[in-house]
Amino acid sequence: MWQHGTRSSVLDFNDPFSTEVKPRILLMGLRRSGKSSIQKVVFHKMSPNETLFLESTNKICREDVSNSSFVNFQIWDFPGQIDFFDPTFDYEMIFRGTGALIFVIDSQDDYMEALARLHLTVTRAYKVNPDINFEIFIHKVDGLSDDHKIETQRDIHQRANDDLADAGLEKIHLSFYLTSIYDHSIFEAFSKVVQKLIPQLPTLENLLNIFISNSGIEKAFLFDVVSKIYIATDSTPVDMQTYELCCDMIDVVIDISCIYGLKDDGTGTPYDKESMAIIKLNNTTVLYLKEVTKFLALVCFVREESFERKGLIDYNFHCFRKAIQEVFEVRMKVVRSRKHQSHLQKNKRPTPNGTPRMPL
């Protein structure tokens, strides 16, 4: 199984430079709400059925997700039973460096306690950092009927916003998602969370719009191949079935490449610059996948008659990939500059005996 470049560790609160320049995503919620399962399924390719055997998280874990050009962040998984507003707990430091706070609510359980914890968490976090994106995952909806899903989402949405209005905090915006690890809804929800943390998103969307309008393409997604999070798409609406087909296509390409794409001695990578795939569906639609960078893929929906101009599509794709690489290069220059500044600040901190650190 091809694993994402992740690194887990128990949290060290004493290192203010531990986050460097990566956006931080907090996973919070009550015990057994499904936080760790979400993380394992999305970023570790764990089978949903295997998550039934996960032990309850009893310590704060930090994980670096840093494989692709743009999906580059930290996830902090908080145990449900922890009282992070304890006076000995530096919650201000945590919220100050946070880009998104995901609060997971178990839709199959009584969620009144979860709503009370959500309100406390959001109000405290907002006072420390008003720029946090608050994302509410109404989770485990696979066990609910369609009508029950809609009613549950409406009820949680109403109650959560009423609580904020009563506290005079109407300006806090909460985003709600119906999620389950047993379908693609969790990947789509995480896609939307991560997209808000990508400063280059408008540029990527604009490039995709230009690409599809000049190539006769119906829909295009820019995917992080490992996690199946789409980091950008064009401005046309996203259809869930379309997204699921794209995810399935990525799985097929990686699985077949792992079998037939490696060298005789087993070396090489299953996904490289030569990776591409064409799948013709029985409704006159063609699925077209092309490698963009080492960890990004472009997946397109094309009508058969438009795909006859494959040469034009490939030329436009070449221009698109070159533009993406330029965006990536600019981003890397910014990251290197910020890391250098962090390194300088780190060396200015005094050592335990009070003497300043010598520059390296």
Mean pLDDT over each residue of the chain, to the nearest integer: 84
pLDDT tens track for 46-63: 889 888 888 777 777 888
Report the C-alpha gap between 232 and 192 in whole angstroms. Answer: 9
DSSP state for residue 82 in the 8-state scheme:
-
Strand order in the sheet with 174-178: 6-10, 61-66, 72-77, 24-29, 98-106, 133-139, 174-178
Beta bridge partners of 178: 138
Query: Which tens digits make up the pLDDT trace of 121-179?
Result: 999 899 999 999 999 999 999 988 999 999 999 999 999 999 999 999 999 999 999 99
- Work out the percent of the chain whose per-residue pLDDT is above 70: 87
Q: Which residues does 126 contact at the CB level (< 8 Å), separation at least 6?
A: 132, 134, 169, 172
Q: How many CB atoms lie within 10 A of CB 352?
A: 5
Provide the whole-model pTM.
0.82
- What are the CA-CA distances from residue 148 to residues 100, 154, 178, 179 (Å)? 28, 10, 11, 14
Tens digit of each residue's pLDDT (9 = 90 or more) over 183-194:
999 999 999 999
- What pLDDT band is residue 353 in, cutting at 50, 70 and 90? low
Contact 103, 32 (CB under 8 A): no
pLDDT value for 8 = 45
User: What does the alpha-carbon distance between residue 315 and residue 311 come to, in Å, rounded to a whole number?
Assistant: 6
